[in-house]
Structure 1
Amino acid sequence: MKKQWLLAGMMLLTSVCMAQKKPNIVFIMADDLGLGDLGCYGQQKIKTPHIDKLAAQGMKFNSFYCGTSVCAPSRSSLLTGQHTGHTYVRGNKEIQPEGQEPLGDSVQTFAQLLQQAGYTTGAFGKWGLGMVGTSGAPDRKGFDKFFGYNCQRQSHRYYPTHLWNNDQKVMLDGNDLAHKVTYAPELIQQQALAFIDENKDKPFFLYIPTVLPHAELAGPDDQFYKMYENAFEEKPHKGADYGPNASIGGYQSVEKPRATFAAMVSRMDAQVGEVVARLEKYGLLENTIIIFTSDNGPHREGGADPAFFNSSAGLRGVKRDLYEGGVRTSFIVQWKGIVKAGSTSKFIGAFWDVLPTLTQITQAPRARYTDGISFLPTLLGKGAQKQHDYLYWEFHEDGGRQAVRAGKWKAVRQKVKTDPNGPIELYDLAKDPEEKHNIAAENPSIVKLMDQRMKESHVESPIFPLIGAGK
């Protein structure tokens, strides 16, 4: 069987190499964008023509999942190719005065592997995996160039006091809690486009973890806001202090939160269009893989209204939930001439599959370890696609949660920190995609199997303890 898989992989790789030489990679990841916030996934109220066009010209995945339902561990899962029972960062652990728990020295990212394969690498947006000068800083985890927010707490504000250019602090004069002068997403976008300009003649990996449309709700009074200014009946929003870091990232009151949110999504969509246009300008589209996704489900902070926009696409849950609405994400791949235009995939995959897929495509060195499998056969529409036995997630806030998806079955366990052997909820996604009917009592053998999979998937972390951590 191993020889068959190896032969199939070699044939797939040969077919790619015949058509392409070192394809560029552009990976765009939205922040807190729900599965249903895009037109191509059913959104009716917000216009996203550029991302919809990516789907029309590429492959749209309907059963793809993020690393988990909150920022830092989801990004750690993506970059390391490991699910949250194994990846180094498993929660949003703050480090003062600025930053989060850094990825360890020994942690390997696929950006580092791409560097070894001859790629110039750049990241533009939000990092959140280690402050400048630490083992988890972008320049120590595979990026030649970083520009944006190092700290996700700082990224709560769209008019911040500063950003980071590699290890240099860039002060944004005039911005403070009361004044809005420089809109950071636009400044970051210009740096991302400049990266394409500077590296158009050599293989590059462009990672754009945009902060849009993460709370706070904020943006300039421009064409995007005017598009929606009077489009919706507005829900009153008081605005306020949303958590302990309000002095840095407290969300400000906005008069029309629904219009503001819609404008932020459309602005992000337009920025995707600008990236595609820049690639097209240099004739790079035929040799560039463009991937679009989101780091987790939709948020409710700062006046956001995911119910009004159907941001979870009818699925149960939002950000921080391990139900489908918290972890199932948009995932679109455009690769002109290689990936069939207008295609869809039922492949059940997750962020930890990105690493083995991209390293196979680019012939980069293999990772020391990954929980992922390459979905290159799915992209090419040829060869045998290996499938996951199951997918696993952890969430370390609100008492801790675990979840498993195996085929049609979805299992969720709550309050793991106080009761690691607590009851498991079980859902049949084929019959009940909205996870309304807990059928654990009728399926004890499946529940037992899911319990085993939760136990075998979790390796305890001294930095992010989960099992029995609340005792």
Structure 2
Amino acid sequence: MNIKNILAFAILITGFGIQSQETKNSSKNNKKPNIIFILADDMGYNELGSYGGKIIETPNIDQLAKEGMKFSNHYCGSNICAPSRGTLMTGKHTGHAYIRDNRALPYEGNEPIPAAEITVAEILKTAGYTTGAFGKWGLGYPASEGSPNNQGFDQFYGYNGQIHAHNYFTSYLRKNDLVELNANIDAPYSVYSADIIKDRALEFVEANKNTPFFLYFCPTLPHNPYHQPDDKTLEYYAKKTGFPIGDAHSEDFSVPKYAALTSRLDQEVGEIVAKLKELNLLDDTLIIFASDNGSALTKEEDSFLRTGGDLRGRKSEVYEGGIKSPLIAFWKGKIIPGSSSSHISAFWDFLPTCAEIVKAKTPDNIDGISYLPTLLGKTDKQKQHDYLYWERSQSQAIRKGDMKANFVYDKATQKQNIEIYNLAQDPFEKNNLAETMPELKAEFVKIAQTARVESEIFPLVKKAKKAKVKTH
């Protein structure tokens, strides 16, 4: 049985036409490329077929990889949602970024990034781009200085805060900072948020077909909860895997429900590409696809799907399985089809890459390095990082060349254990070399101390709460 028929992908694949030689005057007059960044939510490194996935079928995203470039050494901004997205937007790693952990507020929304932060959207706006974000934000409550509209986005639609995003059948979404109600109030399960967010993103593309645009498409797929509309995709994966679906509307995990969420994301990517082709924009659009952190599935849940492959660690950990991300880039006529790159890069490189594309100045205090030379096949021009750095919740990680140090916090001893791995020889982080390489260990310790500045809101080492003393 062909999944393209079951999932109604055929029209998307047919409409993909990446190698089409059609040339339209309207697209050729657009000298600045449209830029689309598609951010999956909690997708494992090996989930996609193009990255070794065997169960979940992702033909549209895999087609981007086939006709574009696939990175093998790209990293998320963090091992958890908000700080990862913050590094993507501001070009700073978590030793310098304002947001370094998830911090939901008592009301809707998260700790806001300050107005002083310069985002990639703000840079692109100065270059004449119309900017839109559709999906999950997580970097500032509505109308705060960190809300999308105050950080360079002309339009926003979706979930402002992360906690609200934990419901695909929500009764409302945010249109900019305002509430937009939907039919779920009177008819539960009648409106699926992933569908409406995708539709709004397509409308944004249509509305801005005659001007360069930046689309930050950040849906909640395939993040839990595993709410599903009842459709043939669930039935397909139940038959393919032999696992029961369970209650489609419940929060409970099942193999078919998780697989269907990822396939739904793939279908949405296909619809975006089809819309670009329909509007004759595909030839002038850079599309980048990545995930905000590693797989959130437990090892037991992931034993069949293997979304994390053999990488050690999961979401919230500093091992490769928590911070490594697939990165696929498609740009017709610029990126060599079917190419790959082992360039070591991370989320904070996206901002300077966009700035170089549009010939804009970057802020002086960012950590990112443009990977545009790599995209264009000019590897001799590509600058390299001295190291990549991450921190969160008393743990740190550093990658320097092929060597990686993990500073893993031990709750029992309340100290960091330092582990060192040679990723070229040991990509699954099994052989700890820390005790056999004292000089390198000392170098990593020094970097761990100097690569960061302390944050009052997100301190690396959390102070112990003082015991209350009773007085009589």
TM-score surpassing 0.5?
Answer: yes
8 A Cα contact 2:30 2:212, kept in partner? no
The structure-2 alpha-carbon separation of the partners of 1:296 and 1:304, relative to structure 1 and needing over 3 Å to count, comes to farther
Q: Residues 8-19 of structure 1 correspond to what in structure 2 (within 5 A)? A: none
Q: Does 1:258 align with 2:255?
A: yes
1:64 corresponding residue in structure 2: 74
8 A Cα contact 1:31 1:213, kept in partner? yes
CA shift, 1:437, in A, is: 1.4
CA shift, 1:94, in A, is: 1.2
CA shift, 1:172, in A, is: 2.3
2:46 corresponding residue in structure 1: 36
- What amino acid is the match of 1:320? S
- What amino acid is the match of 1:190? D
The runs of 5 or more residues in structure 1 that have no matched partner are 1-17, 240-250
1:380 corresponding residue in structure 2: 376
CA shift, 1:228, in A, is: 0.7
Deviation track 1:408-450 (CA, whole Å, cap 9, x = no partner) reads 1111112289989733111111111100111111111111111
8 A Cα contact 1:91 1:464, kept in partner? yes
8 A Cα contact 2:87 2:347, kept in partner? yes
Matched residue of 1:273: which SS?
Answer: helix
Distance (Å, rounded) in 2 between the aligned partners of 1:89 and 1:156: 20
2:356 corresponding residue in structure 1: 360
Distance (Å, rounded) in 2 between the aligned partners of 1:306 and 1:120: 40
Deviation track 1:81-126 (CA, whole Å, cap 9, x = no partner) reads 0000001111111112111100112111010010111000000000
2:15 corresponding residue in structure 1: none
Distance (Å, rounded) in 2 between the aligned partners of 1:305 and 1:59: 30
Distance (Å, rounded) in 1 between the aligned partners of 2:117 and 2:153: 14
Distance (Å, rounded) in 2 between the aligned partners of 1:32 and 1:257: 16
8 A Cα contact 1:117 1:365, kept in partner? no
The runs of 5 or more residues in structure 2 that have no matched partner are 1-27, 466-472
Distance (Å, rounded) in 2 between the aligned partners of 1:144 and 1:304: 42
Q: Does 1:218 align with 2:227?
A: yes
Q: 1:183 aligns with which of 192, 198, 201?
A: 192
CA shift, 1:304, in A, is: 8.5
The structure-2 alpha-carbon separation of the partners of 1:204 and 1:238, relative to structure 1 and needing over 3 Å to count, comes to closer
Deviation track 1:48-74 (CA, whole Å, cap 9, x = no partner) reads 000000000100000000001100000
Q: 1:146 aligns with which of 156, 164, 174?
A: 156
Distance (Å, rounded) in 2 between the aligned partners of 1:152 and 1:384: 39
The structure-2 alpha-carbon separation of the partners of 1:465 and 1:289, relative to structure 1 and needing over 3 Å to count, comes to same
Q: 1:459 aligns with which of 448, 453, 462?
A: 453
Matched residue of 2:225: which SS?
Answer: coil
- What amino acid is the match of 2:262? V
8 A Cα contact 1:417 1:467, kept in partner? no
CA shift, 1:470, in A, is: 4.1
Q: 1:197 aligns with which of 183, 192, 206?
A: 206
TM-score by length of 2: 0.88
CA shift, 1:252, in A, is: 3.5
2:334 corresponding residue in structure 1: 338
Matched residue of 2:428: which SS?
Answer: coil
Q: Residues 280-295 of structure 1 correspond to what in structure 2 (within 5 A)? A: 280-295=277-292
The structure-2 alpha-carbon separation of the partners of 1:253 and 1:190, relative to structure 1 and needing over 3 Å to count, comes to closer
CA shift, 1:468, in A, is: 5.3
Distance (Å, rounded) in 1 between the aligned partners of 2:201 and 2:300: 27
The count of residues paired between Structure 1 and Structure 2 equals: 437
Q: Residues 351-430 of structure 1 correspond to what in structure 2 (within 5 A)? A: 351-382=347-378, 383-396=380-393, 400-415=394-409, 422-430=416-424
Q: 2:142 aligns with which of 111, 117, 132?
A: 132
Distance (Å, rounded) in 1 between the aligned partners of 2:300 and 2:347: 25
Distance (Å, rounded) in 2 between the aligned partners of 1:236 and 1:284: 39
Distance (Å, rounded) in 2 between the aligned partners of 1:416 and 1:90: 20
- What amino acid is the match of 2:230? D
8 A Cα contact 2:409 2:415, kept in partner? no
Deviation track 1:127-158 (CA, whole Å, cap 9, x = no partner) reads 01101111100000010000000011111111
Distance (Å, rounded) in 1 between the aligned partners of 2:188 and 2:300: 22
Matched residue of 1:322: which SS?
Answer: coil
Distance (Å, rounded) in 2 between the aligned partners of 1:395 and 1:252: 31
Q: Does 1:325 align with 2:321?
A: yes
1:76 corresponding residue in structure 2: 86
Matched residue of 1:446: which SS?
Answer: helix
- What amino acid is the match of 1:410? K
8 A Cα contact 1:125 1:209, kept in partner? yes
CA shift, 1:306, in A, is: 2.5
Matched residue of 2:436: which SS?
Answer: coil
Distance (Å, rounded) in 2 between the aligned partners of 1:292 and 1:380: 17
TM-score by length of 1: 0.88
Deviation track 1:6-61 (CA, whole Å, cap 9, x = no partner) reads xxxxxxxxxxxx99711000110000001111000000001000000000010000
Matched residue of 2:399: which SS?
Answer: strand
Q: Is the deviation greater in 132-141 or in 223-232? A: 223-232
8 A Cα contact 1:81 1:370, kept in partner? yes
Deviation track 1:292-331 (CA, whole Å, cap 9, x = no partner) reads 0000001127x99223211112110110011001101010
Deviation track 1:322-381 (CA, whole Å, cap 9, x = no partner) reads 100110101000000000000000000000111111110011232242101111111111
Q: Is the deviation greater in 165-174 or in 31-40? A: 165-174
Matched residue of 2:240: which SS?
Answer: coil
Aligned residues: CA RMSD? 2.3
8 A Cα contact 1:418 1:468, kept in partner? no
Distance (Å, rounded) in 1 between the aligned partners of 2:234 and 2:247: 20
Q: Does 1:174 align with 2:170?
A: no
Distance (Å, rounded) in 2 between the aligned partners of 1:296 and 1:445: 31
- What amino acid is the match of 1:378? T
Distance (Å, rounded) in 2 between the aligned partners of 1:157 and 1:315: 29
- What amino acid is the match of 1:442? T
Percent identical pairs in the alignment equals 45
